[in-house]
Amino acid sequence: MWLAISALNLAFAVILGAFGAHGLKAHATEAQLSWWQTATDYFFYHALGLLALAIIAKVVPNLPIKTSFLLIQIGIFFFCGSLYIMALGLPRGLGAITPIGGALMIAGWLILAWNAFKYAK
């Protein structure tokens, strides 16, 4: 399941990146394009991270990744999603949830580090 979710994330990152580069460019402000690019960059980075987690889950099945995976996935939704929504011209107030998404992604990676240290003992 983790591998499939990772692959879907990567596919959506490509789709949204292409839309930003081709469909949004003629209609968006410079700030909106910047938000879109930031969202797409973080989407790709974390989707690749999720892919790595899916592979790690197969190679090291005793390493718990579920919490990290879920936190990162929800973080992608909040962080990238809020930036995409703002880039489309919807209320900028939604930017208030962007840091929540970032915090969830950070928490996911820190929990993975914690579990990896525990596993290495």
Band (68; pLDDT cuts 50, 70, 90): very high
> What mean pLDDT is reported for the chain?
95
Comparing 9-18, 19-28, 47-56, the range with the smallest average pLDDT is 19-28
Would you place residue 60 in the very low, low, confident or very high pLDDT band (cuts 50, 70, 90)? very high
Handedness of CA 90, 96, 99, 100 (dihedral sign): negative
Structure tokens at 47: 């989707």
pLDDT, mean of residues 41-49? 98
Percent of the chain scoring above 70 in pLDDT: 100
**Cα–Cα distance, 95 to 101 (Å, whole number):** 10
